[in-house]
Every structure is written in structure tokens, then in C-alpha cells.
Structure 1
Amino acid sequence: MENYKHVFQPLNIGKMTIKNRMQYTPLVACVSTADGEVNQEMIDWIGYQARTGVGYITIGDTQIDLERARCFYGELNVTHDKYMTGLSLLTEEAHRYGCKLSIELSHAGRGAVASMNTKPAFAPSYLPEKNCQPDIKVMDRKDMDWVRNRWVECAVRCKNAGFDMVMIHSAHNNLLGQFLSPVSNVRTDEYGGSFENRMKYPLEVIKAIRDAVGPDYPLEIRMSANEMTPGGLEFEETLIYAQEVQKYVNCIDVSRGNVFNETGVMWLCPSYLQPHMINVEYSRRIKEVVSIPVSVVGNIYTIEEAEQILAEGKADIVGMCRSFMAGPNMIENAVRGQEYKTRPCIRCMDGCGAIYHGMPLRCSVNPKIGREHRYRNIPKAEVKKNVYVIGSGPAGMQAALTLTERGHNVTIIEKGNKLGGLLHDASVLPFKQELRNYKNWIVRQTEESGANIRLNTEATKEMIIKEKPDAVIVATGATFFKPNIQGINNDNVKDVCDVDNGQAQVGQKVVVCGGGLTGVESALALARQGKDVTVVDMIPEEDFCKSMFYIIRYSVLDEVKKAGVKFVGNSKIKEFNDKGVLIEDKEGNISTLEADTSVIALGLKADNSLYKEIAAEMPLDTFIAGDCDTPKNIMNATFSAFNIAVEI
């Protein structure tokens, strides 16, 4: 703990004391009922968060108006007293672990999801946003009073239900942010124009909440330091806003971005391509002009980074969400001096981004997240079995970890000379540090799990029949697809893995064949080396990297654009030759993409032949996991392996 003396220092937020400086930041888990009633899944989720050891949790994005502002099914409902019983159970659960519980109250304004609401969205101005509610009611005085009163009612209800604090959401261009921002507020009355006018309605709401909950009840407010949107709210105005709101609140939570457009949204949930600790300079400057605690969020990965931020005086509280989902034992491990045991987040959002598609919260590397009601404690095996795991990629290693945790005797058979499978190739590029961290973590955990690891050994059906394990999990992964195209074996045509690893020489002009994530990331790395890079695929350009979670995809495509990579879609590869790549577009036109080097990144095909052979001999006790079933991503590997291993 000596290394984290700032992290573990208690702090007063108003008259509330938190036990340390760590916050589990706002998140909609989508594990309550569709109507937002508290259920056991939601209670267990709060308990899971509280057991991380954070000072406080803030439940995220809870709408005060479910007729006009709903954004998620499964977000908590605080709009009627009938929900108070369930809400009180959440606070009770958090308090069991010495954790304070806050709740973020919000109104999405024009950002509401049309299909989830029954009335037109409220907004300061008629400026519909792409992919949001097109039916907008510009707020008049009566509407503004109604929303203000609704906010007050919900805040008082949460206080009465036992919440330790309420957060007022004025960030990310939600309704209060829409009033603040010149990009969404073009009113000509007293609530538009100058920043003093644009602040007026948010301040009215905040003051009304303070008056209703009383002077001693803690309030926090979330604000975007910068909307990262052309014509949007910028930091100098946020500094003014911070000085005004401190009259009514006890803590300021500093974020950035605008959830409703591509340029702004990628700063809400930064990707592996964006810097760590992206908002700490904003929080530092806000701290200089206010006299209340300041919390900061934004691509903060580790407790070491949290300690650095606090020690340098750039914030009073450090908030994380994705890092705690991946590694819920981060604080415990820090106390024990075992930081290496903390599972790192890979910033993919394939799991936690499920909430944006109406699905419950998940995590690509932690299969328990969102399923705490089932898997708080992994059940010990009723009968100890000898289980073989064939393959040691992410699926094989996850299977081995779960099986050994349950008490089985586990043997891993790996034909290569080290654990990891395709994780080594997938994480080799310079900007894939987060995936490298995960690879290193899971390899070490597997090596220390107690499993019997047999490297340089190729499993066969005959071996399995001879050695007679009780069960077999086949996780042999996938191989890169190499179609039968003329010239594909030419010397100037290289496999993407060889290029990424630096084993293949690459000329100045490069064509990458394949618009999936593997090809586009390789193209980005080459472009950053100064190469002239074009990516070609038979799918439309707008579908490149389409399998990625959309916010992370925006970040990838933004970096690719800045690097000067060119995309050519709707084009079939006809031939590789010494000039480059011969392609045919959808109109049948033939042309050549000139290249010194062509790179093949045309996807993966499942390597499942061994599974079929073994399953024919052991149909009840042979299972398939990860890419050798269906090539997808880390999340698919993790979940398929865990779900099998937890039931054997």
C-alpha cells in the first residue's frame, strides 16, 4: 500500500466520506428488467462492483423521462415511488462492502432512441441528430419547468431510497449539455446565444435539485471538458461552467466528447489507439479554479496510473469502468503487491458495448461480468476429471483456467513451442500494447494454474484414444484463408502475419488485400512507417472493419484516415503480378492497383478437422471452443471456452 498512499487516502465529498480515491464510473449494465425494475441480477451486479474495493460506484445514465428520453432497455427506472423498494436493495448491497453508491440522473434530449419512446424528444432547438429521435419538440417554458421538476422528483426519490449521492449528467451532449453547446442550442431567447444564456437552464435545474435535497446531501456533476465536435462546447467555456456549478454541487466529474456524433463519441470510450489518461490536463485546470473535489475519467488503465494522477495533483478522484470490469481484483492485488495478477482490459468494447445493441453487459476477457448472479463463485467440480485441452490460444487458455479453478486435472496439448496461439501475431503491432498485456497475463496465469502443459506436441485422434481422458476441449483455432488466385504465391505477395512480425520485406507501395480488422490494422502500421498503402476488398468501403464495435471502429478509421491509407471497395482480386494487384469492380471494369508488395489478410477459416475426428469417437465428452468452431474475436473465444469448462 506504500506505493499507493494517495489512492488509499479517504476523502470527503461534502459531508460524505469515501474510503479511497477510486470511483467505478457511470455505466448502464442493462441487467435489470426491460421496464427498469431492480432484479437479482442488478443487485448482484452492484455487489460485484462494490467488492472491487472502490470508494464509490455511480450507476450510469438513468433517465428521468421514460416517455421521451429512453436510450436503453434495462436501464434503471426511478420515475415512480413504486420502484423505491428495489432501489433501496441496491444501496443496501453496496453498503455491505463499505462502498458508497451514487446514481447518474440524465435526460437524453434529442439523443433519445425513437423506437423506445412514445413521445417526441425534448431539445433546446430543432436540430435532429443522425441515428437518433427525428421527432423533436423544441422546449418552451412549460416543458422546461416540467423537466426541471421531474429531475427534482427523481433526485429526491433516489435520496429517499438510500443513495449516498446523485450525479447530474450534463456531459456528452445530453439535454443539459445540449443547452450548453452552441452546436445544439441555436435559440434566440434568454436561453441561447451567449454562454451565460446557454448555462442558464442547466443552472436552474441544478439549483432546483440542490434546494430540494437540502444543503448537506452530496451532489456530483458530470461535464464534458470539450465536446470534440466542430462548433461544439470547448474547454474555456467549461471552465466558466465549472466555477458556476460549484455553488450547488460537491464534486465535478470530468469527461469529454459528444455521444451523438462520430467525431465526439470516440472520446467518451477511448480505444487502444488513443492515449492513456486523456482528460487529466482538463481536470488539472478545473481543479485550479474550483474549491470542490474533481474526479477524472478517460482511458485510465491501471492503479499505477491512478496513483500518478493523484500524486501529481491533477485530480482528487480517479474513475475507471472498463479496467474494473476486466480486472475486478485490481485494488486487492495492489494491496497485496500482486499487480501482475490483474487481468487487463483490451479496449475492444465487443463485450461492454453490447448495451448499445439492447443486450446485457458483458466483457470480452472476463466471462463473469453481467452474470454475477450465476458465477460469483465458480462451482467446484462434483467429480474430478482428467480433461485435455487441445490448443493454447485464448480459448484453450481460458478453458484451462476455468477447469483448474474447478479442481479438474487439466492437460494442455500445444503443437507450438509456447502458449498463446494467434495472440502472438494479433498483438505484435506497436499500437496493440493492450492486447499484448492481455496475452502476457493469460499466458502467465495458465503457466501458474497447475495445468500439465505439453508443448511441441501435436494431438491426434490416436493419442486421445490411447490416453483416454474423461473429456476433451478442442481449441485448435483457425488458419489464415489463402484463396486460389493466380500469382498468390509470387515473391512479392506476403502473408499479413509475416508482414506484421517484420519477417517479410515490404516495399514502399503496398496493397493490403482484406478490409477486415487484421488488414486495416496492418495497413495502419505500414502507413505509420511511411509506406504508401491501399486496402482493397470486395465489400463496400463503408463496411470495412464492420465487425468491430462502432465507437472503436470510428477511432480506427480516424487513425487510418490521418495516416493516409486509401480504401478501394467493391473490387474483386483477379490476379497478383509484378505490377501489383489486378482487380475487377462491380461494373466489371478491370484495373491494376500498383504495388511493390501485396499483403494477404483475407480472414480466417476454422481448423476443426481434429475435433470432428475425436467427436466421432467420444461424442458425449468432446467439445469445441473458440475460432475452430467459428472464427470471431477474443470475446467468442473467452465465452465459448468458459461456458463449456464451467459445466464439465
Structure 2
Amino acid sequence: MKNRIICAPTSPSMIDLNGHFTPEMIAYLEEKAMGGAGVVTYGEAIVHSATGKSHNKQLQLDAFGVRQGMTEAARAIHNAGAFANIQLSHGGMYGGLSSVGGDVDTCSVAYGPSEMSMPAGEVKEMPRELIYEIIESYGKAARLCKETGFDMVQVHAAHGWLFSQFLSPVWNRRTDEFGGSLENRARFFLLALDAVRDAVGPGFPIEARISGDDMTDKGLGLEECIEVARMIDDKVDLINVSCGNHEDPDMFCRTHPSAFYKRGVNVYLAAEIKKHVKTPVACVGSLNDPAQMEEIIKSGQADVVELGRASLADPYLPKKAYDGCADDITPCLRCYECFGATGQLEMVKCAVNPTMGEQLAAKLPKKTPGQKKKVLVAGGGPAGMQAAITAANRGHEVILAEKSDKLGGNLHPAGAAYFKEDIRKLIEVMEKRVSRAGVDVRLNTEVTPAYVKETEPDVLFVAIGPTLRQNYTRRNWAKR
């Protein structure tokens, strides 16, 4: 690895109905690699889609014709300068139940460790024959990933999915070799790791994602998670430590930390597990600040940092940190716009990154402006600042006029609360970009019809807020 940064497994819904990569998905992964990360990981690739497909649209590693898109994805990541990683996953009981990520096209039967009734439906105990069939599917999927050019695989055993369910002392009430003691409950996971190793050989890196604490009475505590880490210590090359349960509403905001938590809230779990294993350990936990990441590595809390939403807000975070431009990193606001878009729009987007999910279109060359124009932007909020930055970077002469004495607009009241500091950071980042772009900023300046006549712009860009703009438009139409 060229650095200690991995883009953590993410799995937006830019997958076609056959379970294949789309060009949009590949462009999304490619940009992360262009941003400077050492490894880029695609998340939740399903190894046994007949039973394990937990979301409406997921990459299905046993689908006919899946090889082409996988090969293209691996090549795109490589050509952009990173290693390609892919997460092997199975939804367990959520393959047949309505889950946070899926409510249609579920599998015909929900198979879990034991028979139980869940709010979303009935769960059947997974037969031993099916367990061994799924173990075999992990090996086949890993071999496929290696053959199509991926450099490593990650086996997912956290967040309430298949292996996490079998590890649970509450959900797993089996009396065979896959139930009872922690060793027995871990057997499914360990056999799957063995199948993956047999399929890819001794020189191919395997990463395992486990919990440091399930933080629920259905799962494991820290001490038991340490024992699981010890069990896999000689089977994998990297242990990724997460926590919580994706399908538990009370835990979702801890697995994917909200703004109410401090940055790096889950790093302590990786730091504790690292004390008990010889395998390198990776940490997660809404990391966004390169200085904090550097301290985590320097102090020995973890060997690798993995970035999820931070790499959506700014895919170029690693490169900016390397180039000494950390003050230009767009901060993730932890607003969950990305998660919402995955379900609502079947794509990904970001509140602070306008090209997120549109990487394919963004790759097309932009026509050079045929004429340099004078642009007047009315309003110094985030929309006005971004408009000014974009126009100036395309070579135009830009004036940004703001009625108040500072830029930022409604971001200031939005960022007033102590836990909304990232909104305040966003203002600072955008102010610096405005300055670097050479924009003529005029504070305490109201854009009136008289001011427009005085300034004589070729273009007037109105960014005064939706309510005011609607009223302004209505008044003008009334005059007409």
C-alpha cells in the first residue's frame, strides 16, 4: 500500500437488475482511487444470492455475466493508482426479510442461525447442507474476485449480517456444531475464511471485518469480540474493526456515527483488539481529519484507517493531505444524505459534493468558454460561493456580492450547535476556495436593480435563498 488509507466498503445502489456493475458504479470507485487512497473497497458483494441478497440491488458474485463489470472495475481502480478490494457478504436472515437496505425482491425464505419470529417475518433455521453450500460459495466468490483482477477480498462478519447472526448468543440457539459455545458459533465464519484462503492461495490478502462490540444484548461484547479476533489471527492479513448493527435502528447511528458522536468514536475498539493479535488492524469511525488519522497510526491504535462517508464528501482527501492541502478538504457533515439517496434514488449523492454519483458525466470534457464574461453572483451562501468558484475557475471575471458582513449564509445558524462544527468548517473551506479562485468579494452589498445596472454584468446569478427568490420572482411577474 502506498499509504495507510483504505476507502471503506460502500455499496450504493448503482447496480443493474442482473446484479452487475454499472458504468456509474465503476466511475464512482475510480474517482476514489484518483483521490489518492491506497486501497478502494466495494462493499457487500453477495456470494449466494439465492439466500443472501439483503438489499434491493446488489452486486451478485454468482450472477451470469458478472465478470465483465468486475474486470472493468478492477482495471479502473488500478489505472487510477490504487489496489482494488471487494467485500464478500451474505445477509443471513435479512436475505429473506425486509431490511434497511431492501424491501422488494427478497429471497423466498429467510434463513438464520435458528428458527425465530422477527418483526419483518418468520426466520427458518439454516440447514447444515445449506451452511456448507454457502461456505463453498465464499470460496468460489473469492476465486472469481482474484481472477477478475481484484487485489484482495474482505469477508464481512459484522453489522448483523450472516456471520454476525451466527456469532450471536441470542439469535444462535443451535445444538449442532454451529451452536452453543463461542467456538462453535464462530465455526461457520472460520470455515468460510478457510474456503476463501484455499481458493485464493497463500499470497493473496484477506481482510476480515468484525465487530469490536455489537453494543446490543443480541450480540457480542468487547471481550468476546477479542476472542473472535484471536480465532482469525492466523487466517487473515488485516482485521477491520467496526461495531453495532446495521439493522438495529438504535445502533445504526453508532455503526455509521452521527454528528452527535466525536470523530473516531469507534477507534478505541480497534486499539483494544490490536493489543491481542499479531495481524495488522484497521479502524473506522467517521474519520475526516488527516491529523487525527496520523495520530491514530503514530500512537499505535491501528495500522490502517478506513474512510467511508468522508471519501464521498471529498474523494480527494488522501491526495490533499499528502499535498499539504488539508485545509481544502470538504468535511462530511454526517447528515445521511448518502444513505437516503441510495434507497430513494437508487444512486448515491452528497450534501456537500455536487458531483457525487455523477462521476461518469463529470469525466466528460467541459467546453472552454468562448468568451470571458463578467458574472455577478447575488448571495454569499453555499450556492453563491460554489457558483462563484465554478465560474471563476472557468476563466470568468466574478463578483460575489453578499448583503451581510460575512459569507456562509444560512450555514452560520445551521452550524451554531457545538456538534455541528463540520458545517462551520465547510464555511471556512469554501471561503478559502473563493479567495483562491480570485473572486471579487463584496460584503455589506445588497444586489438591487440599481446595483445591477451600475455593475453591468453579462450574467446575473441569483443565489439569495429559495423563499426570497420565489417572492422576488412573483413580484417581477406581477410587474410584467
Q: What TM-score, normalized by structure 2, do the two folds share? A: 0.92
| Range with bigger deviation, 439-448 or 136-145 | 439-448
- Equivalent residue for 2:98? none
The alignment status of 1:257 with 2:244, answered yes or no, reads: yes
Instruction: Supply the distance in 2 between the matched residues of 1:253 and 1:315 (Cα, whole angstroms).
Output: 10
| C-alpha contact (below 8 Å) 1:464/1:614 kept by paired residues | no
| C-alpha contact (below 8 Å) 1:183/1:233 kept by paired residues | no
Q: How does 1:541-560 map to 2 (within 5 A)?
A: none
Structure 2: stretches of 5+ with no match in the other structure: 96-101
Deviation at 1:232, TM superposition (A): 1.9
**Larger Cα Rg: Structure 1 or Structure 2?**
1
Structure 1: stretches of 5+ with no match in the other structure: 1-17, 479-604, 620-648
| C-alpha contact (below 8 Å) 1:396/1:475 kept by paired residues | yes
The alignment status of 1:190 with 2:177, answered yes or no, reads: yes
- Equivalent residue for 2:74? 91
Instruction: Supply the distance in 2 between the matched residues of 1:364 and 1:306 (Cα, whole angstroms).
Output: 23
The alignment status of 1:227 with 2:210, answered yes or no, reads: no
Identity of aligned residues (%): 33
- Equivalent residue for 2:195? 208
Higher helix share: 2
- Equivalent residue for 2:296? 309
How many equivalent residue pairs? 473
The alignment status of 1:464 with 2:455, answered yes or no, reads: no
The alignment status of 1:350 with 2:337, answered yes or no, reads: yes
Instruction: Supply the distance in 2 between the matched residues of 1:615 and 1:314 (Cα, whole angstroms).
Output: 62
* Equivalent of 2:420 in 425, 428, 432: 432
- Equivalent residue for 1:373? 360
Deviation at 1:24, TM superposition (A): 0.4
- Equivalent residue for 1:79? 62
Instruction: Supply the distance in 1 between the matched residues of 2:427 and 2:377 (Cα, whole angstroms).
Output: 18
- Equivalent residue for 2:105? 116
Deviation at 1:400, TM superposition (A): 1.5
- Equivalent residue for 1:393? 381
- Equivalent residue for 1:22? 5
- Equivalent residue for 1:410? 398
| Range with bigger deviation, 214-223 or 323-332 | 323-332
| Residue deviations 1:416-437 (CA, integer Å, cap 9, x gap) | 1111111111111222111111
| C-alpha contact (below 8 Å) 1:223/1:255 kept by paired residues | yes
| C-alpha contact (below 8 Å) 1:48/1:372 kept by paired residues | yes
* Equivalent of 2:136 in 140, 149, 159: 149
- SS in structure 2 at match of 1:608: helix
| Residue deviations 1:540-581 (CA, integer Å, cap 9, x gap) | xxxxxxxxxxxxxxxxxxxxxxxxxxxxxxxxxxxxxxxxxx
| C-alpha contact (below 8 Å) 1:474/1:611 kept by paired residues | no
Deviation at 1:122, TM superposition (A): 1.8
Deviation at 1:100, TM superposition (A): 0.6
Deviation at 1:613, TM superposition (A): 5.0
Instruction: Supply the distance in 2 between the matched residues of 1:278 and 1:72 (Cα, whole angstroms).
Output: 27
* Equivalent of 1:281 in 243, 268, 291: 268
| C-alpha contact (below 8 Å) 1:270/1:299 kept by paired residues | yes
- SS in structure 1 at match of 2:10: coil
| Residue deviations 1:343-371 (CA, integer Å, cap 9, x gap) | 11111121344214352011110111111
* Equivalent of 2:287 in 280, 300, 303: 300
The alignment status of 1:474 with 2:423, answered yes or no, reads: no
**What CA RMSD, in Å, does the superposition of the two structures yield over aligned residues?**
2.2
Instruction: Supply the distance in 2 between the matched residues of 1:31 and 1:615 (Cα, whole angstroms).
Output: 41
CA spacing shift, 1:246–1:616, aligned 2, 3 Å: farther
Instruction: Supply the distance in 1 between the matched residues of 2:395 and 2:248 (Cα, whole angstroms).
Output: 49
Instruction: Supply the distance in 2 between the matched residues of 1:209 and 1:304 (Cα, whole angstroms).
Output: 36
Deviation at 1:74, TM superposition (A): 4.3
- Equivalent residue for 1:535? none
- SS in structure 2 at match of 1:309: helix
Given residue 405 of structure 1, which amino acid in structure 2 is its aligned partner? Answer: N
* Equivalent of 1:269 in 256, 271, 286: 256
CA spacing shift, 1:157–1:437, aligned 2, 3 Å: same
CA spacing shift, 1:352–1:606, aligned 2, 3 Å: farther
| Residue deviations 1:162-207 (CA, integer Å, cap 9, x gap) | 1101100001110011000123222233322221221122112211
The alignment status of 1:445 with 2:433, answered yes or no, reads: yes
Deviation at 1:224, TM superposition (A): 1.0
